[in-house]
Amino acid sequence: MSGERPARVLVAATGGVAAMKTPFLLRRLREAGYQVRAMASARALAFTSENALAVAAGSAVATEESWFVADGAALHLELARWADLLVVAPASAASLARAAAGLAEDLLTAVISAGAPRVLWAPAMNPEMWNYPATQANVARLRGWGQDFVGPEFGALASVTEGSGLGRMSEPETIVEHVRYHLSQKDLRGYTVLVSAGPTREYFDPVRFISNPSSGKMGYALAEAARDRGAKVILVSGPTSLRQPWGVETVRVERAEEMHQAITSRYQEVDAVVMAAAVADWRPAETASEKSAKKKGPQTVELLPTPDILAELGRRKKSQVLVGFAMETVDGLERAREKLRRKNLDFICLNFPTRTGSAFGGDSNEVEIIFPSGATISSGRVSKRAVADKIWSLVRERLTGREKEER
C-alpha cells in the first residue's frame, strides 16, 4: 500500500458476461484493505446491476448517466485524480480498441486520457475476438504505453455452446494479486532472493514415503511478497497443492537431496535465502525399486539423516542474508537460538505448530523472530502474507546495512 492512506482502486466494468464477477472483485479488493470505487459502462449494466456494484463498492457507481449531470463537476477528471490504479474488469474488445485509439468519448476512455496513473486490463471475450489481429495490435499498443494486462485465461467460456478457450476473465483473486503487485513499494528491486517451501518426500518404495503436513503456504506467501516488492525470486518447492505463483521462477523437487541440489547450485547468485521448507530430517537408507507387499509381515526401515541444507548455506555464507524457520513443540526459544547459532543465520522465525491459528496448512501464523543479539520480536497472529512482509522488511534492512533495534 502506498503512503499513509489505503491505496485507491477504481474498478471499471465494460460489456461482457464476466461483469457478473465485478462485484466480487470489488469485495475482494475491500477485504484486502483497498479503498474502491466502481464505474460501469452502459453495456456492463446489461450483465450486472448498478445496485450490486454500489453495494460491493460501498459507494455510488460512476456511469454514463452520472457523468454529465449539471452539477458543475467533471467526473472524469475527479476519478482520474482520485485513483492510484484503474482496473478494467471485464475489459471488452471494444473498450481496448477505443483506448488504443486514444478516444475520450465515453467515461472510461475519458478517465484514461485525463491521466489515470496506471491501468490494469482484465480482458474477457470470445477467443476469436481476443486473437483478432486488431485486438492484439491494440493490446500491444496499450502495453507500449505502460499499461498492463492480467489474463485472459484458458477455461470454460460463458456460452455453453462455445466450450473452452482463451478468453475467460481471470478470477477476482488473481486480479487482486496483480493489483497488489502494482501498488506495492518496490523496495527489493535489484535483489535476487531464494525461498524454499513445502515438505519433502523420502521414498522407501515407489509409492510410499516419509513426509510431514507442511502445506507450503508460508513459503509461497514469502515468494509472492518478494515478487511484489520487486525482487527476482527463485522458489524451490516441495510437493504442494498450491498454484504456481506468476512472476516467480519455480523449481519443483521431491526429495531433500533434490532440494539440497536445487538450492546449493543457485546459492552464489542470490542475495538472501529464506528456508521455509519443512525438510524431512530422515530418509530411508534404501528405496525399493518395486512396491513391497504387506504379507511380508512387520518391517523395519533403516533411516539415514538427510543433508542439512541451511547449515551448509551457513558454512558457505559470504554476503547472503540467511533466514531459517524453527518449528518446535517444546523449549522453543532455547532450541531456536541453538539453530540460529549452529546454522550461522541472520535471524530465525520460531513457529508454534500446536497453537491455534499457527497450525500446518492455515492462512495465519504467529512467529517469534529471534536475532543473534538475543533480541526477539513477535509478529502477533496475522496472515502468512503479513508475516512474509515483516520478514522481507528485516531482510532488506540487513541487505542495505540498516538493521535497527535488534543489534
Q: What is d(CA 112, CA 289) in angstroms, rounded to the nearest whole number?
A: 62
Pairing of strands 192-197, 272-275: parallel
Residues 126, 131, 138, 212: which is the catalytic one? Answer: 212
Joined together, the cell numbers standing for residue 257 give 537431496
Among 363, 322, 375, 369, which Cα is nearest to 350's?
Answer: 369
Catalytic residue list contains 212: yes
The smaller minimum CB distance to ligand CTP, of residues 148 and 281, is found at 281
Joined together, the cell numbers standing for residue 15 give 460489456
Shortest spacing between CB 307 and ligand CTP, in angstroms? 6
Joined together, the cell numbers standing for residue 67 give 457523468
Q: What is d(CA 118, CA 138) in angstroms, rounded to the nearest whole number?
A: 17
Joined together, the cell numbers standing for residue 59 give 459507494
263 CA to centre of own chain: 21
Task: Count other C-beta atoms under 10 Å from residue 239's C-beta.
Answer: 15
Residues that bind ligand CTP (CB under 6 A): 256, 275, 277, 279, 281, 306, 308-310, 324-327, 339
Q: What is d(CA 61, CA 70) in angstroms, rounded to the nearest whole number?
A: 17
Shortest spacing between CB 216 and ligand CTP, in angstroms? 12
Shortest spacing between CB 260 and ligand CTP, in angstroms? 8
Is residue 224 a contact partner of residue 248, using CB atoms and an 8 Å limit?
yes
Burial of 308 (0-12, 13-18, 19+ CB in 10 A): middle
Give the sign of the dihedral formed by CA 146, CA 150, CA 154, CA 159.
negative
The smaller minimum CB distance to ligand CTP, of residues 165 and 353, is found at 353
Joined together, the cell numbers standing for residue 275 give 528456508
Shortest spacing between CB 218 and ligand CTP, in angstroms? 11
Q: What is d(CA 306, CA 202) in angstroms, rounded to the nearest whole number?
A: 9
DSSP notation for 40-73: E-TTGGGTS-HHHHHHHHTSPPEEHHHHT-SSS-
* Order of all β-strands in the sheet with 249-252: 249-252, 232-237, 192-197, 272-275, 321-327, 347-351, 367-370, 376-378
Shortest spacing between CB 288 and ligand CTP, in angstroms? 23
3-state secondary structure of 270: coil
Q: What is d(CA 235, CA 55) in angstroms, rounded to the nearest whole number?
A: 39
- Cα angle for residues 181, 214, 320 (degrees, 5° grid): 60
Please give the positions annotated as active site: 212
